[in-house]
Structure 1
Amino acid sequence: MTEHTRKVGDRGQVTIPKEIRDRREIEGGDKIRFVEVNDEIIIKPPMDEGSLAEGYKIRADRSRQLAEKMHGTSAEATEQLGDAPEWGE
């Protein structure tokens, strides 16, 4: 974890340390997001549609894989135990 302390200017401006700007490839004119979580302020890059779509695709793929694994497990359980009884039987 890297920690830097900066002074807030009269207009609420804060300079992001050069080391962090360089590492995160933040340049003048770039947009950033401020996210408040409990007692912390987190600075994040903006959420672009491509990154958001890729995240949803990864999640959908994981869900599909899990469903495929569970289908096999469910079929095996049915084979071993038989169909589940109806409620009230």
Structure 2
Amino acid sequence: MAEHTRKVGDRGQVTIPKELRDRRGIEGGDEVRFIEVDDEIIIKPPTDEQRLAEGYKKRADRSRQLVEEMDGTSAEATERLGGAPEWSE
């Protein structure tokens, strides 16, 4: 767990360290949530529908890419080894 120290300005403002902003995808203009738990304050990065949709799209694109790779590999195996034998019960 990384620890960063920042000074609170007169108006209560604190700058989130760039390393953390980059790692958590926090950009200028984003809203963050402050959650008080016992004696700690937790800052939660935004989770909005657009970011979730982008994540799901990347995952779907990767899944399609894997299917295409497997189709090619399967076709190559069938070409070299022949089809699968028939099973009988």
Provide the TM-score with structure 2 as the length reference.
Answer: 0.57
Question: Any idea what the Cα deviations from partners look like across 1:17-52, whole Å, max 9, x if unmatched?
Answer: 8242x633578xx33276xxxxxxx74312100000
Identity of matched residues, % = 66
The amino acid of 1:44's aligned partner reads: K
CA drift at 1:74 = 0.2
Higher relative contact order (CA 8 A, sep 6+): 2
Residue equivalent to 1:82 = 82
Q: Superposition RMSD on alpha carbons, in Å?
A: 3.6
How many residues align structurally? Answer: 71
Residue equivalent to 1:18 = 14
CA drift at 1:3 = 0.9
Residue equivalent to 2:46 = 46
Unmatched 5+ stretches in structure 1: 6-16, 35-41
* SS at 2:63 equivalent: helix
**Is the contact between residue 32 and residue 44 of structure 2 (CA under 8 Å) also seen in structure 1?**
no
CA drift at 1:84 = 1.2
**Is the contact between residue 33 and residue 46 of structure 1 (CA under 8 Å) also seen in structure 2?**
no
Unmatched 5+ stretches in structure 2: 6-12, 22-26, 36-41
Residue equivalent to 2:32 = 31
Residue equivalent to 1:69 = 69
Deviating 4+ runs (over 4 angstroms): none
* Structure 1 pair 81–47 and aligned structure 2 pair: CA distance change class (3 A): same
* Structure 1 pair 66–60 and aligned structure 2 pair: CA distance change class (3 A): same
